[in-house]
Amino acid sequence: MATATFVASYFFARPAALRTVQILAALMWVAYGWLIGASPVIAANVLVILAAAWTAARGSQSGSSLSNAPG
């Protein structure tokens, strides 16, 4: 379920929606890692959460979006 959610995030046109869904998927992976006691799964997905949250905050501060990027 977490993998499907993460893959689905790439179908969102708005960067904020993509990051939100990526954060939700990573939270699912963290929960799974916690349930099975897999600290590498937890650590990797905490990094995904932090990166997505950081880029979301950075994007909202500058008002920029990927849809406005050239090319």
Residue 24 lies in a domain: yes
Residue 46 lies in a domain: yes
Residue 71 lies in a domain: no
Interatomic CA distance for residues 63 and 65, integer angstroms: 7
Looking at residue 28, what is its pLDDT? 95
Percent of the chain whose pLDDT exceeds 70: 86
Residue 70 lies in a domain: no
CA 54 to chain CA mean position, Å: 10
**The domain containing residue 33 runs over which residues?**
2-61
Domain count, the chain: 1
Residue 69 lies in a domain: no
Tens-digit pLDDT profile for residues 23-44: 999 999 999 999 999 999 999 9
Residue 47 lies in a domain: yes
Total-model pTM: 0.74
Residue 43 lies in a domain: yes
Residues with Cβ within 8 Å of residue 24, at least 6 apart in sequence:
5
